[in-house]
Structure 1
Amino acid sequence: MASSSRNIILNPVFQGSILILLFIGAYFVPFSSLYNIWMTSDDYSYGILIPFISAYFLWEKRQTLKDVTIQSCWSVFPVLMLFVLLSIYGVLGSSGNISKPALPVLIVLFAIFCFGMDLFKRISLPLCFLVFMIPLPAVLDRTIGVYLKTISSHLGGMFLRGLGYSVHVSGNVIDLGVIQLQVVDACSGLRFLFPLMALGIVYGYFFERVVWKRVACFLVTIPIAILTNVLRIGITGILTYNFGSKMAEGFFHDFQGWAIFMVSFVFLFIFGRFLRFFPPKIEKTGQKELKNSGKIFENKGNISAFVVSVVLLFIVGGLTFNVSALPPVKIKGGIESFPSSFNQWKGQTQVVERKIIDASGAEESFSCDYINQKNHAVSLYMGYRSTAFLENVNFFHTPTVCLPSSGMKTISQSKRVINDVPLFETLPVTEMVMESMGSKLLVYFWFQTKDQATHDKNINRFHLALHAIKKDNTHDLFIRPITSIGEGESIEDARQRMDGFTREMMGTLIAFLKENQNIQK
């Protein structure tokens, strides 16, 4: 009986099944966030298919695993611990940009640590393919998206000129004279790029047997994605020029996207057929011939690594479960009930659309344009989150991204400290001087929990992680006042106005939260 139980425990299939279940439970928060993105984002809706494709790849490899040698690899343990700690920080600090990209890396590291390099070499494709289920971190998404928009706009303009149309391209705007086309984020080509790259791997796996041809099928998807997106922009330009702007909206726009993606696959297929003209080269597959003994798996000792992995996953799961159980700190009437008048400032509140609130990473928001007795104006925006631990949300977007993307130019950006601020005494803020259509704006923004404030979102995430680990309930606030710098007015004059507004507003905010906050049971 004891021998039978030991054989079960040493069985890699049993160990793998246990680790998969524990891994999903321990990282349920980022996994649930991933699922939410797959279900709600057009850019990453393909992601839900990736685990199933990986599972099929693994099933295809099953015959090569019959003689695999199972042996723990302790040399990878320090790297594994580093990523476990990073993932804990990402989960507890509500940083999806850390916790979600860490998932496929952790899967690979746990596999190597528990089962060794021999197994990993044989299943590296199914494991590494999981990277395609992860959305790009926001900073990479924006950077690559801007680059693709610029490239696609200029190439689209060239395509239309080649067809005889008079076109002027400025940034991501294509001017056809009678109508202008703006290449927005959804038309950057990023929506094609990653699913097509994944498709290139699938195509190469099933239809090519030579390594360099498989790599070529993967790499060629990048120019195919760009060129087919240019084709889509060109077709949209032709249709809107001849039939009006409705051809760039709604059903026609979405249908073009699906049609062009199918064209991309046709191009990939044609490229694959083209590769047939090149002679296949004999490549080493790295797979051993199956032994005739019929023995399945040779376990040379991995029980210690398996136990350590189980303990690590229980610790991660315990931390995230305990913190996720913290009740939210809600505001009676919501943050939108913040006073529109205080001291010398009188304001007019603005309604913020739900989709903007969701996109900003907040649960609730407040927007108001204040004017004082000297007719100085300050526009205030606040985003509120009721806990240090939120699932299925973005982190707060900052003006360093939002304002430049709306057409404003950043003249300067620096850290500034405001003294004599209620609760915090000294308040660190990020100061930005922006220019828009000849006018200058002074922008402050900062993040604060119930007892800590910072100018930097990464420091705020660290504060949130500390609150979460200590099970210390807290809200999370993003605050951004903006004022115009008038003609003949110096930046220092605008700073004095903003500093005064911040002190008075913070005094009102602290009293407002103290009176209206309550912990939900």
Structure 2
Amino acid sequence: MSVEARAESVRMGGNLGSWLALGAATLLAAGSLWFVFYDGLSHMVRGWGQEEYNYAYLVPLVSAWLIWQKRGELAEIGVRGAWAGVALVGLGLFFAFFGELSTIYTIIQFAFIVTLAGLVLAWFGWRGLVVLAAPLFYLVFMVPLPDFLYQQISGRMQLISSELGVAMIRLFGISVFLEGNVIDLGVYKLQVVEACNGLRYLFPLLSFGFLCAYLYKGPLWHKILLLISTVPITIVINSFRIAVTGVLVDNFGIGMADGFMHFFEGWVIFVAAVALFFAQMLVLARLSGRHGRLSDLLRLELLIPQRPAGGVDTSRLLRPSRPLLASVALVAVTAVAVASLPERQEIIPERRGFAAFPMQVGDWRGRELILERRYVDALKIDDHIYADFRHAGDPAVVNFYVAYYGSQRKGASAHSPRSCIPGGGWEITTLGRRGIDGVGPNGEAITVQRAVITRGLSQQVVYYWFDQRGRHLTNEYHVKLMIFWDAITRNRTDGALVRLVTPVTPGQTLDSADARLTDFMREVYTKVDGFIPG
């Protein structure tokens, strides 16, 4: 055998050994990752069934394709594993472990992306991580927002779209009045519900905008501007949709609303938003002195299949680095640790239902009200009471509302009135904490969030707090932190929101309304404790 043939045989044998080592490491890593992150990833995929996240099925495929297109650059870099990658993998697994204990799936989902980035760093080093940074970051767009954050963004988007939509309607000379999310055209009223918040267009447009900014041939500030612009573009398009609906209803009746809204759902609006996005890209290019077609502004070679010049010497990628092998071993050990955890069935305490709540509380007599099923379903409430209580001799009422959740892990959680109040057309003019004396079981003071809200000439005072597993809380972010802590330490996430509202009647002052709420709270506080587990 010639020297050349023998060298070739040795090289082939070495490549085969590298292939086998890399294949074994890949299979072990993939299996371990799947086991560690299964709960979070399966919950994420189920979330893609919502209209707002339908686009997310494509995100991992696009990310994988972008990574494949970078194989030439990775081959030039070669295997330059960094031990910092092991630390990053450990950080991702740490968060995954606590996400598993608390079953807060968003933590697990982001931890998965961090772990993937750590594996890349452990395999290709810092230069490799920089090369693949954008495709890896793109995976962020496949993670659904936590429910409490979604609700806050949704409420703001509804209000902004309503206000801008009404301004557009007035441009047509139509008299229109806006109360929160309700557009009053006189004969007809249109409510800008959650389905009209525009998020079903914003999320896919953000994903698309990031991809286009990545491909765009231009300075960094252009790329940032393109990505940020997806938010106002979505709001303008959604507001235009609302405005045209209002104009059609004013001229042709309410029957036109359903037909138009149905036609302008989904792809029609999204295509219009994409057209505006590309128009902005062309304007930016013209302002910077570049002329040509839209395709000339994008690095389409990053998307179009092509073989790098001179081919790709994959042999440089076959050798798994020692940091990569250590990272894979760490993932495998974590998988074993997760498997050894006892199965945690969330504890949902037994309790009395609000159907048994008394309608006579001290000198206060109540009348139970009906909360529409669509609100119950939207809020994902397990049990609630919604009633007006009146004190003898006082014409004003105290509206009493308690929403109870047996579990706040999987997207269902108490909504802060701060997010919901503006949707009814009310403006929060004062918000702060206030101590109420003589309320607790032993007469101790209890702190509430107090809000003064106005709508036109009407004014109301609101007290609210969160009753969470024996804790009396007034800050919604503190509530989220305690849900996470108690999910790990007590395996419980049940809790409730308690809200009291009373009007400031003509001739009365805010002090009169506060006195009414304080009196009722002293009577009802200990009664509520009997229906919410401590």
TM-score (norm 2): 0.74
Distance of aligned partners of 1:194 and 1:330 in 2 relative to their CA distance in 1, 3 Å threshold: same
2:81 maps to 71
Return closer, same or farther for 1:311/1:6 CA change in 2, 3 Å cut-off.
farther
Q: Deviations over 1:329-353 (max 9, x none)?
A: 2435x33432222322221112223
Tell me which residue corresponds to 2:305.
none
Partner in structure 1 of residue 130 of structure 2? 121
- Mapped to 2, the partners of 1:170 and 1:513 lie a distance apart of 41
Quick check: 122-131 or 67-76, which moved more?
67-76
Structure 2: distance between partners of 1:347 and 1:397: 24
Q: Distance in 2 between matches of 1:288 and 1:309?
A: 36
Native 8 Å contact 1:64 1:290 kept in 2: no
| Number of residues of Structure 1 aligned to a counterpart in Structure 2 | 492
Match of 2:320 in 1: 299
Q: Does residue 170 of structure 2 align to residue 166 of structure 1?
A: no
Q: Which amino acid aligns with 1:405?
A: G
In 2, are the aligned partners of 1:104 and 1:131 still within 8 Å (CA)? Answer: no
Task: Check whether the contact 2:59–2:138 (CA below 8 A) recurs between aligned residues.
Answer: yes
Question: Could you tell me how far apart the structure 1 residues matched to 2:496 and 2:129 are?
Answer: 44
- In structure 1, what residue type is equivalent to 2:260? F
- In the TM superposition, what is the alpha-carbon distance from 1:195 to its structure 2 partner? 1.6
**Change in 2 beyond 3 A, CA 1:244/1:367:** same
Equivalent position amino acid for 1:417 in 2: G
| Structure 2 residue aligned with 1:463 | 482
Please tell me whether Structure 1 or Structure 2 has the larger radius of gyration of its CA atoms. Answer: 2
CA distance in 1, matches of 2:509, 2:143: 47
Deviation track 1:216-275 (CA, whole Å, cap 9, x = no partner) reads: 9867766764565465456535543543222222x4312222433344456667889985
The counterpart of 2:293, out of the listed 259, 276, 301, is 276
Change (3 A) 1:267 1:377: closer
Q: List aligned pairs for 1:396-475, cutoff 5 A.
A: 396-420=414-438, 421-422=440-441, 425-471=444-490, 473=492, 475=494
CA deviation after TM superposition for structure 1 residue 12, in Å? 5.4
Q: Is the 8 A contact 1:19 1:310 kept in 2?
A: yes
Tell me the CA shift for residue 59 of structure 1.
4.7
* The 10-residue stretch of structure 1 (115-124 or 253-262) with the greater mean CA deviation from structure 2: 115-124
CA distance in 2, matches of 1:153, 1:107: 46
Cα distance between partner residues in 2 of 1:301 and 1:453: 51
Q: Determine if contact 1:448/1:477 at 8 Å carries over to the other structure.
A: yes
Number of the residue aligned with 1:248: 257
The separation in 2 between residues aligned to 1:244 and 1:192, in whole angstroms, is 27
Shift in alpha-carbon separation, 1:104–1:296, aligned structure 2, 3 A: closer
CA pair 409-377 structure 1, distance change in 2 beyond 3 A: same
Cα distance in 2 for partners of 1:57, 1:293 equals 17
Cα distance in 2 for partners of 1:35, 1:49 equals 11
In structure 2, how many angstroms separate the alpha carbons of the residues matched to 1:173 and 1:498?
28
Alpha-carbon separation, structure 1, partners of 2:468 and 2:192: 38
Q: 2 CA distance for matches of 1:118 and 1:43?
A: 35
Kindly state the Cα deviation for residue 328 of structure 1 after the two structures are TM-superposed. Answer: 1.6
Within a 5 Å distance, the mapping from 1:91-130 to structure 2 comes to 99=107, 102=110, 106-107=114-115, 109-112=117-120, 114-115=122-123, 116-130=125-139
Give 1:401 deviation, angstroms: 1.6
- Matches of 1:219 and 1:466 in 2, distance apart? 34
- Residue type of the partner of 1:166? G
Give the TM-score, by structure 1 length. 0.76
Distance of aligned partners of 1:329 and 1:281 in 2 relative to their CA distance in 1, 3 Å threshold? closer
Q: How does 1:259-408 map to 2 (within 5 A)?
A: 259-265=268-274, 275-276=292-293, 292=313, 294-302=315-323, 303-310=325-332, 323=344, 325-332=345-352, 334-375=353-394, 376-387=396-407, 390-391=409-410, 393-408=411-426
Answer yes or no: is the 8 Å Cα contact 2:29–2:332 preserved in 1.
no
**Residue 195 (1) aligns with residue 177 (2):** no
CA distance in 1, matches of 2:186, 2:492: 57
Task: Please report how far the alpha carbon of residue 133 of structure 1 lies from its aligned counterpart in structure 2 after TM superposition.
Answer: 2.2
RMSD over aligned Cα atoms: 4.5
Deviations 1:131-156, CA, capped at 9 Å, x for gaps: 222345333444455445544554x4
Measure, in 1, the Cα distance between the counterparts of 2:101 and 2:355: 27
1: CA distance, partners of 2:274 / 2:429 = 44
Q: CA deviation at 1:444?
A: 0.8
Distance in 2, matches of 1:318 and 1:419, equals 50
The answer on whether the counterparts of 1:446 and 1:480 sit within 8 Å (CA) in structure 2 is yes
Displacement, 1:379?
1.0
